[in-house]
Amino acid sequence: MRLGGSRIALAVALLAASAMPAYADTLREALASAYNTNPTLQGARASQRGVDENVVIERAAGLPAVHGDASYTEILDDTYSDPGNLYPDRQLSGGLSLTVPVYSGGAVRNSVRAAKTRVKAGQADLRATESAIFSQVTAAYMDVILNEAVVGLNAHLVNVLSVNLQATSDRFEIGDLTRTDVAQSTSRLQLARGDLRTAQANLVESRERYIRLVGHEPGHLAPPPPLPGLPEQVDEAVTIALQSNPDLIAAQERAKASDYDIEVAGATRLPKIELFTSGNVVDTLGSGPLDTLSGTGKDRTTSATAGVRATIPLYQGGRPAALERQAQAGSAAALEQQIEIERGVIAQVRAAYSSWQAANAIIESSKSGIAAAELSLEGVQAENTVGNRTILDILDAQQELQRARVQLVTAQRNAYVAGFTLLAAMGKAEARDLGIDTGGPLYDPQDNYRRVKGKIFDWSFDPDPVAQSTRTVDTPAQDGEISASN
């Protein structure tokens, strides 16, 4: 069963309780604002950029390394006699060395593979964060609409009960009703006022949550668009989720990366081979010993070396085996976590689908209930005029109609949120799936990865970071009031 456009329009029309002439925000705009300014999402993107750098870091261990050193030494005190000026008084020395790794037992290769795989896992995590933020924004958006509708319904009931109380009091004054009738009317009015205050508090909470997620206060919220791609059957939803759910994809990639970790740990027991060369220069700055033949000073000497170095581990106290067993345990944990997440995804999809179906069924039954409650109230009021019904009967009928109306708007909110939650669990609730206009190209984490993966220069750094999200400190505190158009 699909939640079509006509049903959505009807649902939100009932939620809003009346047609509004203009809207300050739509769901697409709210999602776009969160996409561009939400600090949780911006922080996740920054964290993923940090994960990208692990590929560069791991690859660096397999690239040539150049080191230089320099020192200046001043002889401050000689405790021996140096009549022939055999020893210098000062010395300036410098050296340059180049090391080229040739073989590391596969440690570098597998470390790079593991880092690349974890980049894929991180990108899936970023998708999951985006989907989760969108789900929260959608729920907050619909909560504002719902709570505004509930405030309106409760305010209307308070007005009706106030009129009823006045009429009951007038009839009591002329002896047509008893003090009990007045007390019952007063009690229902006070209860309705309490319900109104509770509804207003809930509205404040939902508006503040909207501000926290979206970055600005809600205006008149427009009806949300139809949800795209909702499945016909729950099994269809599960199949899509097992292929597209970002949390599951991230777990699968981490399980693959853990296999490379085992290879990296095992490489610690294998030989390492590297080429090396170095050059050194020493200058005594005119204070060196004299050449006995020429009588001139030997101020500068140079040297250069080159060779091949092999490091062959023979015994390391059991460390390589412990590292490999540790990596194997981590791989086992990753495999189990993958199954745990898969179970959770299946359960989430099935539960969301059931909630969506149940909410749609409640919508239909609530509509019938409202029609029946309205007819019942009219009948009870008519029968009261001829003495066949009491004031309590009227109050009960009004309360029954109120419950039916609140149940309807609640079910309409639940149906939309459950449908969006279902899409999120299926991996189909991101900006690219929903056609969100963010005012520019969508953020692609692969762009940053391609930018940095080949960098090998030690002084290649980015500008100092600046916060991308917006603050809400200047947003006024929300109240539980609704405008006349709501």
Q: State pLDDT tens for residues 225-235.
A: 999 999 999 99
∠ CA 479-482-483, rounded to 5°: 125
Correct CATH for 5-75+85-452 of 2.60.40.420, 1.10.3210.10, 1.20.1600.10, 2.30.130.10: 1.20.1600.10
Domain boundaries, the chain: 5-75+85-452
Q: Which residues of the chain have pLDDT under 70?
A: 1-24, 77-87, 288-298, 484-486
- 263-266-272 Cα angle (round to 5): 105
Helix axes 179-214, 27-37, angle to 10 degrees: 50
Residue 480, H or E segment = none
Burial per residue of 31-52, b for 16 or more beta-carbon CB atoms within 10 angstroms, e otherwise: bbbbbbbbebbbebbeebbebb
Q: Is 257 helix (H, G, I), strand (E, B) or coil?
A: helix
The predicted pLDDT at position 1 comes to 33
Strand-pair partners of 71: 93
Q: Provide the pLDDT for residue 23.
A: 45
pLDDT at position 199 is: 95
Backbone angles phi, psi at 228, to 5 degrees: -85, 145
What would the pLDDT profile of 395-425 be if each residue is shown by its tens digit? 999 999 999 999 999 999 999 999 999 999 9
Residue type, 450: R
* pLDDT value for 284: 83
Residue 206 falls in which region: left (phi positive, over 0), alpha (psi -120 to 50) or beta: alpha
pLDDT digits (tens, 9 = 90+) for 26-85: 999 999 999 999 999 999 999 999 999 999 999 999 999 999 999 998 887 665 555 555
Q: Are 320 and 268 in contact (CB under 8 A)?
A: yes
pLDDT on residue 384? 86
- For the whole model, what pTM was predicted? 0.88
Angle at 484 between CA 478 and CA 486, to 5 degrees: 70
329 vs 326: CA distance, rounded Å: 5
